[in-house]
């Protein structure tokens, strides 16, 4: 009985470490993307009104996803002695799933902005290809 209890605690600690490392990775990715977008605002020239709006939206959504992906780490440090670890894991999962929504929007807006400049007006094709790729991968996962 005691050995099984120790093994359960080790599994939960391992899962908790995995979840926190995933959020650290996502936070780093979004932070780098935010840095590129912020640098783009300073060096972009001759942007159309649509490109300005998309750049501002991409910056906003990247800050939002950065904040949401940081919440599990912040919550971990504030409420460390957990009494209900499964409840904490569900919260972390919820934060991560919610954080993917602004992250995907940031990714799509950034892709459109980059491809619009490189392809001289055909950036929407790249966004459509990404959306269909995501849908196909989602359907094939089963």
Model pLDDT, residue 4: 52
Average pLDDT value for residue range 109-134: 84
d(CA 25, CA 1): 36
Residue appearing with tokens 């899962």? 15
The encoded tokens of residue 70 equal: 């940081």
d(CA 110, CA 6): 47
**Higher confidence at residue 85 or residue 103?**
103
Average pLDDT value for residue range 45-53: 86
Summarize pLDDT for 92-119 with one digit per residue, the tens.
888 888 998 999 999 888 888 888 878 8
Q: Kindly give, in sequence order, each residue whose CB lies less than 8 Å from that of residue 60, ignoring residues fewer than 6 positions away.
A: none
Domain ranges of the chain: 2-140
Average pLDDT value for residue range 66-75: 85
Model pLDDT, residue 102: 93
Confidence of residue 2 (pLDDT cuts 50, 70, 90): low
Sign of CA dihedral 84, 21, 70, 103: negative
**E strand segments, the chain:** none
Model pLDDT, residue 7: 44
Longest dimension (CA), the chain: 70
**Residue 71 in this model has a pLDDT that exceeds 50:** yes
Confidence of residue 48 (pLDDT cuts 50, 70, 90): confident
CATH 1.20.140 fits 2-140, yes or no: yes
For residue 80, which phi and psi values (nearest 5 degrees)? -60, -50
Model pLDDT, residue 58: 92
Confidence of residue 83 (pLDDT cuts 50, 70, 90): low
- pTM for the structure as a whole: 0.77
**Residue 3 in this model has a pLDDT that exceeds 90:** no
């Amino acid at each position: 009985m005691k050995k099984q209890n120790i093994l359960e605690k080790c599994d939960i600690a391992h899962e908790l470490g995995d979840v926190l490392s995933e959020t650290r990775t996502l936070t780093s990715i979004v932070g780098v993307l935010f840095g590129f977008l912020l640098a783009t605002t300073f060096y972009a020239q001759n942007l159309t009104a649509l490109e300005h709006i998309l750049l501002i939206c991409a910056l906003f959504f990247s800050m939002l996803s950065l904040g949401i992906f940081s919440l599990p780490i912040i919550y971990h440090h504030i409420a460390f002695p957990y009494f209900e670890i499964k409840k904490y894991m569900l919260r972390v999962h919820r934060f991560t799933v919610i954080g993917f929504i602004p992250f995907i929007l940031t990714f799509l807006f950034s892709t459109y902005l980059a491809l619009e400049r490189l392809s001289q007006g055909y950036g929407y094709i790249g966004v459509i290809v990404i959306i269909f790729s995501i849908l196909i991968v989602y359907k094939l996962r089963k």
